[in-house]
Amino acid sequence: MAHIIDGQAIARKMQAKIAEDVAVFKAHYGYAPGLGVVMAGDNAASQMYVRMKRRACGEVGMESFATLIDANTSQAEVEIAVKALNDNPAVHGILIQLPLPPHIDEEKVLGLVSLDKDVDGFHPVNIGALAMKGREPNFAPATPSGCMVLLQEVGAKISGANAVVIGRSNIVGLPVAMLLLKANATVTICHSRTADLPGLVRQADIVIAAIGQPEFVKGSWLKPGAIVIDVGTNKVDDASTEKGYRYVGDVEFASAEPVAAAISKVPGGVGPMTITMLLQNTLLAAQRLAAK
């Protein structure tokens, strides 16, 4: 039976340490680290994520500033909001809640975020540094960093391991693959056109699933003893629950758990780590800016 990686507990422990460090920072500088969020549109999931991030900031003693913009906003209005956060000395980290409405040029908006405040690590310069050998980004994206912490917490040997990442999105798959490569894993990135996905997964010591397909990866695909990080968060109908739905991962937990050495939970695995890494990056940004 696999060790269940409890992201909730790991996140709680890390957030307690962040809260202590924020208190020290405040006592020293007389102000709190601040996270600024720009959200455009009325995507319900995005609204929920923004609320969760604001609540998490409050819990560790950080300030949060949200700029909420209407869905039919203009490119100029979004750019002005980002520039205002760049210029606001009380804001040390900036997050652009994705996705932006389809008519907004996401690449341009992400490229406007101050490199010193790019706590989500999505500025093209930071992503470029993440991709290059011998370079380090100012900040690495939150969800992929959370996956790496979970692997470290479970004692995974990453250097020399065969790692299979399923998914190549800019937010999860691609950056987590780059972090694994930086940690000296041999990385295979799979996607919707990959031939023989089960065959590739079977060779993996580490599997990161970030597809967005409920219970897609089966236990029979796994190499016995593999470590599985399930990023997927899929809402499925379930009449037996009070709400009528529940969340499942991209990995079929019931068949994977007897085969894997360790597997993260959904919910309660990668999700809580994402917010924690964002808080950690915001504290780091405030410390660096204060030291300048």
Is 214 in contact with 179 (CB distance < 8 Å)?
no
Binding test (CB under 6 A) with ligand NDP, winner from 168, 201, 229, 280: 168
Binding test (CB under 6 A) with ligand NDP, winner from 72, 192, 203, 220: 192
What does the alpha-carbon distance between residue 38 and residue 54 come to, in Å, rounded to a whole number?
Answer: 12
Q: Which of 120, 205, 230, 250 is catalytic?
A: 120
User: Distance between terminal CA atoms of the chain?
Assistant: 50
Q: Residue 26 catalytic? A: no
Binding of ligand NDP by 193 (CB under 6 A): yes
Binding test (CB under 6 A) with ligand NDP, winner from 15, 274, 280, 281: 274
Binding of ligand NDP by 169 (CB under 6 A): yes
Binding of ligand NDP by 8 (CB under 6 A): no
Binding of ligand NDP by 213 (CB under 6 A): yes
Listed ranges 85-93, 117-125, 162-170, 281-289: which one lies at the site for ligand NDP (CB under 6 A) = 162-170
Binding test (CB under 6 A) with ligand NDP, winner from 8, 86, 162, 234: 234
Q: Residue 87 catalytic? A: no
Q: Residue 6 catalytic? A: no
Task: Give phi and psi for 53, each to the nearest 5.
Answer: -70, -40
What does the alpha-carbon distance between residue 72 and residue 85 come to, in Å, rounded to a whole number?
Answer: 21
CB-nearer residue toward ligand NDP: 62 or 172: 172
- For residue 156, count CB atoms less than 10 angstroms from its CB and return exposed for 0-12, middle for 13-18, buried for 19 or more: buried
Listed ranges 19-27, 63-71, 207-215, 238-246: which one lies at the site for ligand NDP (CB under 6 A) = 207-215
CB-nearer residue toward ligand NDP: 156 or 171: 171
Residue-wise over 227-238: b if at least 16 C-beta within 10 A, else e?
Answer: bbbbbbbbeeee
Binding of ligand NDP by 145 (CB under 6 A): no
SS3 264: strand
What DSSP letter does each residue of 134-193 carry, written as one string?
A: T---SS--HHHHHHHHHHHHTT---TT-EEEEE---TTTHHHHHHHHHHTT-EEEEE-TT
Binding of ligand NDP by 231 (CB under 6 A): yes
Cβ-closest position to ligand NDP:
169
Binding of ligand NDP by 117 (CB under 6 A): no
Binding of ligand NDP by 199 (CB under 6 A): no
CB-nearer residue toward ligand NDP: 18 or 171: 171
Which are the contacts of 94, defined by CB distance < 8 A and separation ≥ 6? 35, 36, 37, 38, 82, 85, 86, 113, 114, 117, 118, 119, 120
Q: Which of 53, 117, 230, 280 is catalytic?
A: 53
Q: 129, 140, 181: which is closest to 277 by C-alpha?
A: 140
* Residues constituting the chain: 292
Catalytic residues: 53, 97, 120
Residues that bind ligand NDP (CB under 6 A): 143, 166-169, 171-173, 190-194, 197, 210-213, 231-234, 270-271, 274
